[in-house]
């Protein structure tokens, strides 16, 4: 069910929520958190769909604040709202706020009256993120702040900015997308022979911040210099491969085909592994499983990333 509230206020939205609850049942019971999604007007539906899917694991109230992009033509100040419940909201209730003109100048006041009482708040910017998420109006009221470096105009520059502005509670989907890669590499190194790694190389796409974070994580954990190469071209999407050198030979985990990785180890049969790019729903669900700061991500972004000496980038690519 979708209830439209054109040219409305926070007070009217709250009253409409109470009315819907009384008429259709206690839709807010069992909600464990409030997720605030900050998106540009017209670009919010993909994020809402991911939140609806994730709500089946994390029942929550979703508040979507959609505003005009910078430089858009001025509009009369107003807020149009939608309340989505039932089949249109998964296991959550979704409040979509579309703010125009000066009505979007104070995002914190728009959402404060709609937050679930005594429940943690998570803020997510699926598109362009604030310069310092923790100091933004929505970031100040959130326990966790989720950004996506790959959605920025220059993903590699976005990592550099994140490194200098990180605060405990920040996280980024470029890190979340590494979960399967990190698990597979850790599993390989947990098997005999238990030899020290002497060299590491990582390759991936120039627009893949996950490649850079994987290199930073490996350097931080293994304490060896990591060479990483960023490539461009049609077949350079995401992480391409990791090569770990030790006395007995080279361990290679390469993803030449989307979704399938090939694991090569000295003295063992070659294995094909499922290693798909994680969806928005998977990444969001992962991040909502913990509301405390991700300390490992903090170490990688503040200690591991600055230790990287720079990527090798072929002509035509960018770092």
Reading the block at residue 23, the tokens are 């008429």
**If you average pLDDT over each of 56-60, 83-87, 157-161, which comes out highest?**
157-161
Does the structure show a pLDDT above 70 at 233? Answer: no
Average pLDDT of the residues in 169-184: 97
Alpha-carbon gap, residue 84 to 79, rounded angstroms: 16
- In this prediction, residues 165-190 reach a mean pLDDT of 96
pLDDT score for 168? 97
User: Structure tokens of 57?
Assistant: 């694991």
Q: Give residue-wise pLDDT tens across range 204-220.
A: 999 999 999 999 999 99
Dihedral sign, Cα of residue 64, residue 70, residue 73, residue 74? positive
DSSP-based three-state secondary structure for 57: coil
Distance CA 138, CA 94 (A): 17
Dihedral sign for Cα atoms in the order 41, 42, 43, 45: positive
DSSP 201-263: EEEEETT-HHHHHHHHHHHHHH-S-EEEEEE-STT--SEEEEEEEETTEEEEEEEEETEEEEE
For 119, the token pair is 């429940």
pTM (predicted TM-score)? 0.91
pLDDT tens per residue across span 89-106: 676 789 999 999 999 999
261-300 pLDDT tens trace: 999 999 999 999 999 999 999 999 999 998 999 999 999 9
Question: Worst-scoring range by mean pLDDT, 59-63, 127-131, 168-172, 306-310?
Answer: 306-310
Q: pLDDT tens digits, residue range 74-89? A: 678 999 999 998 876 6
Q: How far apart are CA 64 and CA 123, in angstroms?
A: 10
282, two tokens: 């998977």
Q: Report d(CA 256, CA 73) in Å as an integer.
A: 45
- Give the per-residue pLDDT at 310: 67
Q: According to the model, what pLDDT value does residue 73 have?
A: 56
Query: Does position 27 have pLDDT exceeding 60, yes or no?
Result: no
Question: From residue 220, how far is each of 173, 208, 231, 276 by CA, in Å?
Answer: 19, 19, 23, 25
> Which pLDDT belongs to residue 69?
79
Average pLDDT on 153-170 reads 96
Q: Look at residue 86 in the predicted model and tell me its pLDDT.
A: 81
pLDDT at position 245, please? 97
Question: What is each CA distance from 258 to 11, 76, 234, 236, in whole angstroms?
Answer: 48, 46, 12, 10
The whole-number pLDDT of residue 232 equals: 80
d(C-alpha 149, C-alpha 40), whole Å = 16
Q: What is the pLDDT of residue 1?
A: 85
Question: pLDDT for 33-43, tens place per residue?
Answer: 999 999 999 99
- Provide mean pLDDT across the span 223-246: 86
Q: What is the pLDDT of residue 71?
A: 56
Phi-psi region of 85 (alpha: psi -120 to 50; beta: other; left: phi over 0): beta
pLDDT of residue 70: 72
The whole-angstrom separation of Cα 65 and Cα 136 is 14
Question: If you ran DSSP here, which 8-state letter would residue 312 be given?
Answer: B
DSSP run (H or E) holding 274: strand 271-275
> 16 pLDDT band (50/70/90 cuts)?
very high
For residue 317, pLDDT beyond 50: no
Phi, psi of 269 (to 5 degrees): -65, 150
């Amino acid at each position: 069910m979708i209830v439209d509230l054109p040219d409305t206020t926070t007070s009217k939205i709250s009253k409409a929520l109470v009315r819907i609850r009384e008429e259709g049942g206690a839709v807010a019971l069992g909600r464990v958190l409030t997720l605030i999604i900050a998106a540009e007007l017209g670009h919010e539906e993909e994020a809402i769909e991911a939140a609806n899917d994730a709500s089946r694991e994390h029942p929550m109230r979703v508040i979507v604040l959609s505003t005009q992009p910078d430089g858009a033509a001025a509009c009369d100040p107003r807020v149009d709202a939608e309340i989505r419940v039932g089949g249109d909201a998964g296991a959550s209730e979704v409040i979509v706020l579309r703010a125009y003109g000066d009505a979007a100048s104070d995002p914190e006041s728009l959402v404060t009256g709609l937050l679930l009482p005594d429940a943690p708040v998570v803020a997510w910017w699926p598109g362009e993120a604030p310069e310092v998420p923790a100091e933004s109006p929505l970031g100040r009221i959130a326990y966790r702040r989720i950004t996506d470096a790959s959605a920025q105009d220059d993903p590699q520059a976005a990592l550099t900015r994140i490194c200098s502005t990180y605060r405990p509670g920040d996280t980024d989907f470029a890190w979340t997308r590494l979960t399967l890669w990190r698990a597979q590499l850790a599993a390989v190194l947990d098997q005999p022979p238990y030899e020290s790694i002497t060299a590491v190389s990582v390759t991936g796409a120039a627009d893949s911040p996950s490649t850079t974070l994987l290199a930073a994580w490996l350097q931080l954990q293994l304490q060896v210099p990591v060479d990483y190469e960023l490539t461009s071209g049609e077949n350079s999407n995401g992480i391409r491969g990791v090569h770990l050198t030790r006395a007995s030979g080279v361990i290679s985990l390469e993803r030449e085909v989307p979704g399938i990785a090939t694991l090569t180890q000295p003295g063992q049969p070659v294995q094909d592994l499922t290693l798909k790019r994680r969806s928005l729903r998977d990444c969001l669900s992962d991040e909502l499983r913990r509301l405390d700061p991700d300390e490992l991500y903090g170490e990688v972004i503040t200690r591991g990333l600055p230790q990287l000496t720079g990527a090798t980038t072929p002509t035509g690519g960018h770092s």
